[in-house]
Amino acid sequence: MFKKIALVLLCALPFSLMAQEVKLGHVNSQEILSLMPERATIEKTITDLQSQWQKELAQMSDEYYAKIKDFQDKQATMPESIKQARQGEISDLEQRITTFKQTASTDLQKKEQELFTPVIDKVKKAISDVATENGYLYIFDLSTQSIVYQSPKSNDITPLVKKKLGLK
């Protein structure tokens, strides 16, 4: 009789362990970010910076087109050495405009990242806090299709997969 009870308990133990609730959740971080009060200030800052870059680029473009027009109007009467000098100036200005566009784009991206990083960190912390408080094992972000929270209680099976594949 004792053997039967022990056998039943032994068989029931894995089922009771599996009956523990595994809580998974999901979040849409882009939706949350779009509702953050800091977003409006950041977007205004980025827009203002972008406007400054565009004004500067417009001035450079105006200068470029004026030089081209002047060159085209006077090239028939210019000596060859002056033509080459003017073509060099135009070419240099083209290069400056190209470099300016690249620099502006890079600087704009850096500034946006610099301004949004604290807000993103704030949202990540809130997600982590909510997940911890409510006992979630994993939280998936629908906007990025990634895991944004992983409980310390989660199981990493990487070593088992490596072993299965014969990897060290």
How many residues in total does the chain contain? 168
The reported pLDDT for the residue numbered 20 is 60
Would the pTM count as exceeding 0.85?
no
User: Mean pLDDT across the chain, nearest whole number?
Assistant: 84
Least confident of 1-5, 148-152, 164-168: 1-5
pLDDT in tens, 122-160: 998 998 889 888 888 888 888 888 888 888 877 777 787
Confidence of residue 110 (pLDDT cuts 50, 70, 90): very high
The reported pLDDT for the residue numbered 109 is 95
Cross-strand partners of 129 = none
Higher pLDDT, 159 or 102: 102
Average pLDDT of the segment spanning 25-29 = 88
Sign of CA dihedral 145, 146, 150, 156: positive
Token pair 């970010």: residue: 33
Q: What is the DSSP string of the chain?
A: -HHHHHHHHHHHHHHHHHTSPPPEEEE-HHHHHHH-THHHHHHHHHHHHHHHHHHHHHHHHHHHHHHHHHHHHHGGGS-HHHHHHHHHHHHHHHHHHHHHHHHHHHHHHHHHHHHHHHHHHHHHHHHHHHHHHTT-SEEEETTTTEEEEE-TTS---HHHHHHHHT--
Least confident of 38-42, 62-66, 119-123, 161-165: 161-165
Confidence of residue 8 (pLDDT cuts 50, 70, 90): very low
Q: At a CB cut-off of 8 Å and minimum separation 6, what does 136 contact?
A: 23, 24, 25, 130, 149, 151
Q: How far apart are CA 97 and CA 62, in angstroms?
A: 11
